[in-house]
Structure 1
Amino acid sequence: MSLLKDILYKVSINAVVGDTNVSVNAIHFDSRNVGENDVFVAIVGTAVNGHDFIEKAIKNGAKAIVCQAMPKVLVEGVTYVEVDNSNKALAILASNYYGAPSENLKLVGVTGTNGKTTVASLLYQLFKNAGYKVGLLSTVKILVDNKVYKATHTTPDSLTINKYLKEMNDEGVEFCFMEVSSHGIHQSRTEGLVFSGGIFTNLSHDHLDYHNTFSEYRDVKKQFFDALPKTAFALTNTDDKNGAVMLQNTKAKKYTYALKSYADYKAQILENQLSGLLLKVNDNEVWTKLIGNFNAYNVLAIYATAELLGLEKFEVLRLVSELESVSGRFQYIISDEKITAIVDYAHTPDALKNVLETINSIRTKNEELITVVGCGGDRDKTKRPKMGHIATALSTKVIFTNDNPRSEDPEAILRDIEAGVEPQNFKKSLTISNRAQAIKAACQLAAPNDIILIAGKGHETYQEIKGERFDFDDFKTVKEFLKQLQK
């Protein structure tokens, strides 16, 4: 039990009706989960308004209501707290309720369009290999040192974040690496957290279904850096034209990394092969099993962060050379027939272009590059023709297929993608809406030494169709079909 007045510490309050000197049990923003003596926070969501469920929350036992507008009818014995922004209030309440857990470890946030999962996951791996107790909050999973939990969002809700950070405190975790999405920033899920550092990877076309314009998307990312304390570091990729924007108003110590421009942390690609990269990082050579130009940036961000967090540079170089690739991020298999199949999460035009350019820079051009790609439903439609254009321009053959159509008509999504194919590339592409059949066709079309790229879903182990999730794993599926070819 906590006192309501204690967990309201630092919350910006407009009005209070009732007593704040009361004991409360738990905090919820879903009225269905509210129990006796709980606090219900009424959130204004994109689809549902929590204010419509205040009455239900009180019936379920809520002792306190945090809301943006006082209800017309106030119930005796219930405390009402009016705030400007319920999302912000929830985040601060959550931090107070769990004892400000972010202050008891070094929390580093990673934001950008591409590379968040890779950078956060590899930092977890590097610090774990260095002998530390480490936490990870990512799209793929949540890790509390060695304990694994399933992730549901790129940036979880603020109650979930603080709950896991508190568990990390209890387990003696020293460092935590966290993906910070634009949705998470915009919905104030990171409010009240004390970050020791922030990393910006890059910015490209994504989530415009949510943010409306690219500048709005960029400015939301910038808010994360604006909020960093002066005790933190802000590390940005200056090869991205938006990198400098992130540092404009930050109070944190500023650091830069780049491959092409002047920066505090600089890398040069000496060798780029399907087996890995040889990099020169600030005058020292290091071999990494990670592949491609985009991973050179990721490695540089990881190296810089590890050094900024106090690790010795030669120790960091040794640890970088031991890193293993992240599930669904340029994950590959080579069959007995010498067909290489690569599974990658590339689901934005920029990410797809990066992966295809990386493969093209490695291959000899004597082999075919067969790409299997689709686009998700109920998401930014403007990127679909761009994906179609990039796939056909940079591959020798392309199969357009379903990704996660969600509530949309899969055929309509495929037509949107096909609209981006230029006339000279028509003959390169075909459409097979069933994803398993599309992957099977790619395997059947491939000859020895050919390369198959399956893009868009990466680590995901499901397909979402008409509100239902069906088991589906790109890596397992292609592995199975390649095995069948060998029989």
Structure 2
Amino acid sequence: MKLLKDILYGVRLKDVTGSTAIEVGQVHFDSRKVAGNDLFVAVKGGTVDGHTFIEKVIEAGAIAIVCEEIPKKLHDNVTYVQVDNSKNALAVIASNFHDNPSKNLKLIGVTGTNGKTTVSTLLYDLFKKAGYKVGLISTIKIMVDNQRHDTTHTTPDPMTINHYLSLMAEEGVEFCFMEVSSHGLDQQRTAGLHFKGAIFTNLSHDHLDYHKDFSTYRDTKKRLFDDLERSAFALSNADDKNGLFMLQNTRAKKYTYALKTFADYKAQIMERQFDGQLLKVDENDLWTKLIGDFNAYNVLAIYATAHILGLEKIEILRLLSELETVDGRFQYFISKQRITAIVDYAHTPDALKNVLDSIHALRTGNENVITVVGCGGERDKSKRPVMGHIASELSNKAIFT
């Protein structure tokens, strides 16, 4: 049980009707989960408005409501808290309810169109190999040190995020690496979190069904860096045309990485093979099992982050050489007939082009490249013809599902 006034700390309040000196059992934004003595946060979603369920949750036993619009019918035994933005309020409340767990570990956010899963997952793997207790919140899974939990969203809802961060803090986790999507930032899911650092991978065509235009998509990503505290760090890909833009207004310590331009952390591709590639990183040789130019950027981002967080460069290089490819990210298989199959998430035009360009850089010239690709779901339809063109141009055969 938590006092309502305590979990409202830091929430921008417009009006309060009733007492905040009451004890709340649980916090919910899903009306179906509400029970006696709970707090319900009415959130306006894309298809459903939580405000329409206020009467229902009061009947179920809710004793406090956080909402943007105070209902006309009020109950004497219920406290109503009016806010400007319920999504923001939910995130701050979720953090307070779980005793602000992000303050008790080093939370590092990873954002960008491509590379988030690879960078965050391999940072988790690297720090585990280095002997630390580590957490991971990614598209594929949530890890509380060695305990695996399934996930359905790149950036989960605020209650889920803080629940797992709380478990991590209880387990003594020192570092947590978290994918931060543009949807999550726009919907305020990360509000109330205290990031010790943020990494920008790259930016290209994606989610324009949601954000409507590229500048809005870009500016949404930038929020992660704008909100960092002075004690945090901001690491950005200087080869990406939006890399320096991400750092413009941050208060955090700025770092850059690049293969082509001047940067704090530099790398060069020396040799490419199907079982890995040789990189020159800060004048040291590194053999990595991660294939493709795009993965050279991912490896460099991991290297830079680990160094910023205090690991020795030689130790980082040793650990990087041991890391395996992330499932579904340029994961290759060779059949008995010597046919090479490559599985990659490649859900954007840029990602698909990167994968096919990497294959062409490795092939001897005699192989047929057969690409099987789809852009299903009710997502950004504008990228479908672009990806179709890329697959057709860079493949001997293209199959569209």
TM-score interval, smaller chain: over 0.9
Equivalent residue number for residue 211 of structure 2: 211
Which amino acid in the other structure matches residue 229 of structure 1? E
Equivalent residue number for residue 32 of structure 1: 32
3-state DSSP class of the match of 1:204? coil
Deviations 1:113-140 (A, max 9, x none): 0000000000000000001000000000
Equivalent residue number for residue 280 of structure 1: 280
- In 1, Cα distance between equivalents of 2:226 and 2:350: 26
C-alpha displacement of 1:377:
2.2
Which amino acid in the other structure matches residue 115 of structure 2? G
- In 2, Cα distance between equivalents of 1:274 and 1:32: 50
C-alpha displacement of 1:19:
0.2
3-state DSSP class of the match of 1:359? helix
Which amino acid in the other structure matches residue 397 of structure 1? K
Equivalent residue number for residue 121 of structure 1: 121
Deviations 1:135-166 (A, max 9, x none): 00000000000100001100000000000000
- In 2, Cα distance between equivalents of 1:93 and 1:399: 48
- In 2, Cα distance between equivalents of 1:345 and 1:378: 17
Deviation beyond 2 Å, 4+ runs, structure 1? none
C-alpha displacement of 1:46:
0.7
Which amino acid in the other structure matches residue 156 of structure 2? P
- In 2, Cα distance between equivalents of 1:2 and 1:397: 60
- In 1, Cα distance between equivalents of 2:400 and 2:92: 45
Which amino acid in the other structure matches residue 221 of structure 1? K
3-state DSSP class of the match of 2:126? helix
1:332-371 equivalent positions in 2, closer than 5 A: 332-371=332-371
Which amino acid in the other structure matches residue 329 of structure 2? R
Which amino acid in the other structure matches residue 4 of structure 1? L
Which amino acid in the other structure matches residue 224 of structure 1? L
- In 2, Cα distance between equivalents of 1:94 and 1:400: 42
3-state DSSP class of the match of 1:360? helix
Equivalent residue number for residue 178 of structure 2: 178
- In 2, Cα distance between equivalents of 1:319 and 1:276: 15
1:193-342 equivalent positions in 2, closer than 5 A: 193-342=193-342
Q: % of aligned pairs identical?
A: 69
Equivalent residue number for residue 419 of structure 1: none
Equivalent residue number for residue 165 of structure 2: 165
Which amino acid in the other structure matches residue 26 of structure 1? Q
Equivalent residue number for residue 397 of structure 2: 397
Equivalent residue number for residue 47 of structure 2: 47
Which amino acid in the other structure matches residue 31 of structure 2? S
Equivalent residue number for residue 65 of structure 2: 65
Equivalent residue number for residue 386 of structure 2: 386
- In 2, Cα distance between equivalents of 1:117 and 1:67: 34
- In 1, Cα distance between equivalents of 2:19 and 2:111: 40
- In 1, Cα distance between equivalents of 2:274 and 2:110: 27
C-alpha displacement of 1:277:
1.1
- In 2, Cα distance between equivalents of 1:379 and 1:3: 41
1:365-444 equivalent positions in 2, closer than 5 A: 365-401=365-401
- In 2, Cα distance between equivalents of 1:389 and 1:152: 30
Equivalent residue number for residue 90 of structure 1: 90
3-state DSSP class of the match of 2:195? coil
C-alpha displacement of 1:76:
1.1
Which amino acid in the other structure matches residue 80 of structure 1? Y
TM-score normalised to the size of structure 1?
0.82
C-alpha displacement of 1:349:
0.3
Which amino acid in the other structure matches residue 400 of structure 1? F
Equivalent residue number for residue 76 of structure 2: 76
Unaligned runs of 5+ in 1: 402-487
Which amino acid in the other structure matches residue 261 of structure 2? S
- In 1, Cα distance between equivalents of 2:162 and 2:377: 31
Which amino acid in the other structure matches residue 12 of structure 2? S
Segment of structure 1 superposing worse, 101-110 or 369-378: 369-378
C-alpha displacement of 1:195:
0.5
- In 2, Cα distance between equivalents of 1:238 and 1:330: 23
3-state DSSP class of the match of 1:196? strand
Equivalent residue number for residue 23 of structure 2: 23
3-state DSSP class of the match of 1:37? coil
Deviations 1:426-481 (A, max 9, x none): xxxxxxxxxxxxxxxxxxxxxxxxxxxxxxxxxxxxxxxxxxxxxxxxxxxxxxxx
- In 2, Cα distance between equivalents of 1:351 and 1:17: 51
- In 2, Cα distance between equivalents of 1:377 and 1:92: 32
- In 1, Cα distance between equivalents of 2:367 and 2:183: 41
Q: Tell me, yes or no, if structure 1 residue 153 matches structure 2 residue 153.
A: yes
Which amino acid in the other structure matches residue 347 of structure 1? H
Equivalent residue number for residue 466 of structure 1: none
3-state DSSP class of the match of 1:311? coil
C-alpha displacement of 1:400:
1.1
3-state DSSP class of the match of 1:245? helix
Equivalent residue number for residue 465 of structure 1: none
C-alpha displacement of 1:365:
1.1
Deviations 1:228-266 (A, max 9, x none): 111100000011100011001000000000001000000
State the number of aligned residues. 401
- In 1, Cα distance between equivalents of 2:159 and 2:350: 33
C-alpha displacement of 1:332:
1.1
CA RMSD of aligned residues (A): 0.5
C-alpha displacement of 1:397:
1.0
